[in-house]
Amino acid sequence: MAGSLASDPCRAHGTEPPSPEAIARRKRVQAVPLAGGSRWVMGAEASPSVSMSRPIPLDEMVDGKGGLRPHWRSVLGAFTNLPDGGLAERVRRLGRAFEEEGVTSVLPGADIADRVWHCDPVPLPIGAAEFTELEAGLAQRAALLEAVLEDLYGRQSLLADGKLPPALVFSNPAFLRPCQLAGALPRHGLLHFYAADLIRGPDGSWRVLADRTAGAAGIGYARENRRILARVMPEAFRPVQVRQLRPFFDIWQDALARLASPRAGRASPSVALLTPGHGHAQWFEHMFLSRELSCALVEGGDLTVRGGIVYLKTLKGLQPVDVLLRRLDGRMIDPLELAAGSVLGVPGVMDAARAGNVRISNDPGSGLVEAPAMAAFLPALALRLLGEPLKLASVPTMWLGEARARELVAQDLLEGPGDRWLIRPATDGRAPGIAPASLAGAARAALVARIAARPWDYAASAAIPASVAPCAGPVGMLPRPVVLRLFLAFDGTRWHAMPGGLARVIEDSVQLAGGLPRQGLSKDVWVMSEDRADIIGPAAVPVPPLPIRRTAGELPSRTADDLFWLGRYVERLEASARLARSALVRLNRGALLPRELAELAALARCLARADLVPGEIALGTIGGRALAEALLASVREGGAMAAQFASIARLTEEVRDRLTGEMYAAFTYTLRQAREEAAQAGHSLDGLSHAIVGTLRFSATVAGVAAENMVRGGGWLFLDLGRRIERAHAVAAELAFALDQPPARIEAGLRLALELCDSLITYRSRYLNVLQPAPVLDLVLADDGNPRGLAFQLAAIRGLLEDVSGREDDELAQTAAGLLAETGVLVERIAVAADQVEAAAAVPARLIALEAEIAALSDRLTRRYFALLPAVQTVGLAAEAPALRGAA
């Protein structure tokens, strides 16, 4: 049978253990001097934990004659020139860069501590000739797996002829019956993107450890490794010629566009990347790929199927989608035909795909050939389907559903050390393997019993030690075993390999198998250029001239919603910080004057409205000490300001694909600093006062970066709209509390109103120190040139709503204009009154009403653009049916 092996899996598959002479020669290799006086020791001496009864791991730097490989000489040259401590400094710089702008950005409130990836400063170089061989071998494997998928979802001749056991297909959860081909094959096949995990064995040859066909992760991490490493260590790139990664993404982008059905008839097909959402472990990569491939990043709820066509819900309406780049488990993609309980997929998308109205890349059922046991049958399948032997062999693998294979493994597990095999699920390529050598006798016997009970559920792969490569250690470099993942894309004619990849350091043999871990150490993979190699990019695709567009309506409704609420929470956090600062100024004074007590009471009501302090404090039943303790509690875990930080962190991650790298770094760096300062300030008023400065600095950073870096389109419109609505809502309420004073204390209320609107300097420059109701209220309510006043917010809201709708007579914009006019009328009435103090007594009630009307305007805006529902209508009144905007 194709899966049978001799007693020695290495010799059965042409993998000879190194001879004693080769081992001795490897030990004699001279150590390479490195930065800081450290040395790199090669061979068995570098890996004392490796048992001499097993093949010794190959050193990536050593060639067959015991010397350094030529490309390693060039790479190590850059490190030998570093000063003492230079390597450790590069490690710190890389860690800081990844924390601030890369995949390890840890935001307050975001629980991603278990998703931390780091990049080693020492790359893994691959020679040009060696990479060409790998590319050819992997391209052949991809073509073979495509042919296997077409057969298993089509005629199933491989099952009928006994070339594959039915247990590997019909019991495989990745075999999706709705994906079976009823007629002709899709125009571009089922497999468009492919990746493979490889290890270099003791004989120096690469072997495939796992095939990744369902949508391999890691390519985003590889691209980010290269970008940040080139910035942090530019000196390492100067002495070598490293092939660039960008041409591969250009090829992949064009290949996705070619997948669109010709019936779409669009010059620029619409491509979207379907992600499970920001809570997924690979969210960073999904965001990164959508940006690199110029496609929309969407979740299942962003899409809908109408008349067999997939649409994206946008502010402008429903926009058709031609190609879906799937980063969602195939079983979850359509709750109507696959996993019925899935809330991540798109109901009806499988029917649209069968109709040819949308192409899904890769096909939802493509994960079928990821089964580890499939590797045992690939050599025979290659001869049958391709008419040629495999160019790149797999790690020796046996399917334990065969009696002879099962006997060999059981004998080794029960009578031997058990270190020759890695036991893996036969059909689940992403599940971790079991290293029998690490099990006690009873546990190992139980494993043998489980295999005997259901042998078809297990596969055994030879436990070949992975080659080791130098990695930065505490002092100099240390040898660590590595697994290499390479990525390929199909352009409709042939497969192209990305000239780079993701090398990850493995801690134990179990990590050899399974999916990509959520954390670990990775290395940038450098493919060396040949001296005369030409740079070949994708062929130019003829595209007719594109019409000029400056619309704001093609933003997905969910993204607009997230940006709107990000703006609101940033503004809410700033308002909370300003209120807390005003209260702290008075609490730190000790004995307060009656006027200051009245101001503190008004501030307490404002703080209670913002949920920063309990309501009983606003009622005056608790003293200043309790108010101080409540403010400190607001920044601790579970407090109101801590919750606001968490909400901002979550929303920042959700809209990350809409932020440039510089914007994201500016947001997260200042947010992290502000959050840490606030968390440390939960025990002293002085610490809280200092933390508030950082919080206000963060909000100013967001406003400044957004103003200077975001195009005045849909994203910026809703971010700013959220900020303006939140500020208008808060200003109306805060001024109502500040002005709600007896006539004898109106001056204290007016002074507090100026303080809350940060307008004291402007007022003094206009009116000196004379406080009167009309001038104060004009500045904080009716002056549309005061960015902290109410009129400024309402005028901005009106303009933003007109820009979003594209109409000056927009209903919501007209509502905002009416509120703006009312502020002028309110101030005018006070200015002409015989007794301004008496007239000002009616202002708080009207401001409370304005606050409610602003909240109602926000609700209407939500219903129109985010909730995807028609506008509210009164039953029984004739009215024209409204057009649905982005209807679900």
Higher pLDDT, 378 or 638: 378
Residue 683 has a pLDDT of 80
pLDDT mean over 692-715: 90
State the average pLDDT over residues 235-259.
Answer: 91
Bridge partners (DSSP) listed for residue 668: none
pLDDT at 22: 42
Answer whether residue 5 shows pLDDT above 60: no
- Between the alpha carbon of residue 244 and those of residues 76, 227, 463, 513, 540, the distances in Å are 20, 10, 34, 29, 19
C-alpha angle 569/575/576, rounded to 5°? 90
DSSP state of 468: E
> 539-553, 565-579, 625-639: which has the minimum mean pLDDT?
539-553
Whole-number Å distance between alpha carbons of 529 and 533: 6
Residue 236 has a pLDDT of: 85
* Tokens, residue 504: 């990850």
**Tokens at residue 158, please?**
């491989």
Residue 42: what pLDDT?
A: 34
Q: What is the DSSP string of 380-424?
A: HHHHHHTSS--SSPBPPEEETTSHHHHHHHHHHHHHS-S-SEEEE
pLDDT > 90 fraction of the chain, expressed in percent and rounded = 52
Select from 34, 79, 31, 19 the least CA-distant residue to 202. Answer: 19
Identify the weakest region by mean pLDDT among 248-252, 313-317, 575-579: 313-317
Contact 311, 348 (CB under 8 A): no
The candidate with the shortest Cα–Cα distance to 805, out of 97, 316, 81, is: 316
- Per-residue model confidence as pLDDT tens digits over 807-841: 888 999 999 999 999 999 999 999 999 999 999 99
pLDDT for 546 beyond 50? yes
Q: Is a pLDDT exceeding 50 seen at residue 8? A: no
| DSSP-derived secondary structure letter, 279 | T
pLDDT at 237: 87
Q: What average pLDDT does range 46-68 have in this prediction?
A: 54
The reported pLDDT for the residue numbered 77 is 77
Mean pLDDT, rounded, for 236-250: 90
| SS3 label, residue 633 | helix
Residue type, 99: E
pLDDT in tens, 378-411: 999 999 999 999 999 999 999 999 999 999 998 8
Summarize pLDDT for 89-125 with one digit per residue, the tens: 888 888 888 877 656 544 433 444 445 678 899 999 9
The dihedral sign for the CA sequence 174, 176, 179, 180:
positive
Residue 595, pLDDT score? 83
Condensed to tens digits (0 to 9), the pLDDT of residues 351-363 reads: 999 988 999 999 9
- Can you give the pLDDT at residue 786? 95
Give percent of the chain above pLDDT 70.
Answer: 83
pLDDT-derived band at 253 (thresholds 50, 70, 90) equals very high
Q: How confident is the model at residue 76, as a pLDDT?
A: 80
Using one digit for the tens of pLDDT, what is the confidence trace for 849-875?
Answer: 999 999 999 999 999 888 654 434 444
Is pLDDT at 735 greater than 80 in this prediction? yes
Determine the average pLDDT of the residues in 631-653: 91
The residue with greater pLDDT, 536 or 626, is 626
Q: 100: closest CA among 705, 696, 673?
A: 673
With a cut of 80, say whether residue 64 has pLDDT above it: no
CB 885 within 8 A of CB 317: yes
**Res 415: pLDDT:** 83
Q: What is the pLDDT of residue 27?
A: 38
Residues 341 and 327: their CA atoms lie apart, in Å, by 18
Give the whole-angstrom CA distance, residue 359 versus residue 403.
42
- The separation between CA 858 and the C-alpha centre of its own chain, rounded to angstroms, equals 29
Query: Residue 36 has what pLDDT?
Result: 34
Length of the chain measured in residues? 888
The 10s digit of each residue's pLDDT in 152-172 is 999 999 999 999 999 999 999
Q: pLDDT tens digits for 361-379?
A: 999 999 999 999 999 999 9
Q: What DSSP string describes 616-632?
A: HHHTT-S-HHHHHHHHH
